[in-house]
Chain A
């Protein structure tokens, strides 16, 4: 497919478990963003990559959250020692270039539920 894909679509974790969420951006897209969307809220920024470089991680809520994009394509968001407040939909978005008018294309999200 030509769009952004994310896996898994749904993840249930016990509190304290580590999870890894994958994002496959649109081929050739330079920029990749991760957002967290809590129930009833809009998406909130977590982190941003330009190719393999993580240029902004100011939105990561704690040091339990870690993201990487080692080859400038696929990205993984890892959450260590999950807590109930981590339950949310995690959205990945990619955009073609670097200018502000480039729209961001979103994947379907991974719904994480921490019990």
Chain B
């Protein structure tokens, strides 16, 4: 039973437009959420995170929104650039230094 779900396996966006990647979770004990970006033949790289006490966190072109009542988070990238093309993983964990629970990933393609 997947505790973290990314229902869109792929997404294609034009350069300059907004990319919105979605993630749903089922475990109400999760209190920290992260997005990782992965290029082929490399490990995942941390992108941005959000604690459950917040509903928004912004870092440059990247913003993560958290809706706790809906158990939903989203990553917005604006403006999208060709270099953003990668697989994006949503991950979550509960309190403490616990293992991350990952979604299956969404492959983003930004078309020039």
Contact partner of B44 (CB less than 8 A), chosen from A31, A44, A91, A99, is A91
Q: How many chain-A residues does the 8 Å CB contact rule pick out?
A: 30
* Chain A interface, >50% SS class: loop
Q: Which of chain B's residues have a CB closer than 8 A to the CB of A56?
A: 99
Interface of B with A (CB < 8 Å)? 4, 6, 31-32, 34, 36, 41-46, 49, 51, 89, 91, 93-105
Q: How far is the CB of A71 from the nearest CB of chain B, in Å?
A: 20
A59 at the interface (CB under 8 A from B): yes
| Per-residue contact bits, chain A 8-41, to B (CB 8 Å; 1 contact, 0 not) | 0000000000000000000000010101000011
Interface of A with B (CB < 8 Å)? 4, 31, 33, 35, 40-45, 48, 50, 56, 59, 91, 93, 95, 97-109
Q: Which of chain B's residues have a CB closer than 8 A to the CB of A35?
A: 99-100, 102
Q: How far is the CB of A69 from the nearest CB of chain B, in Å?
A: 15
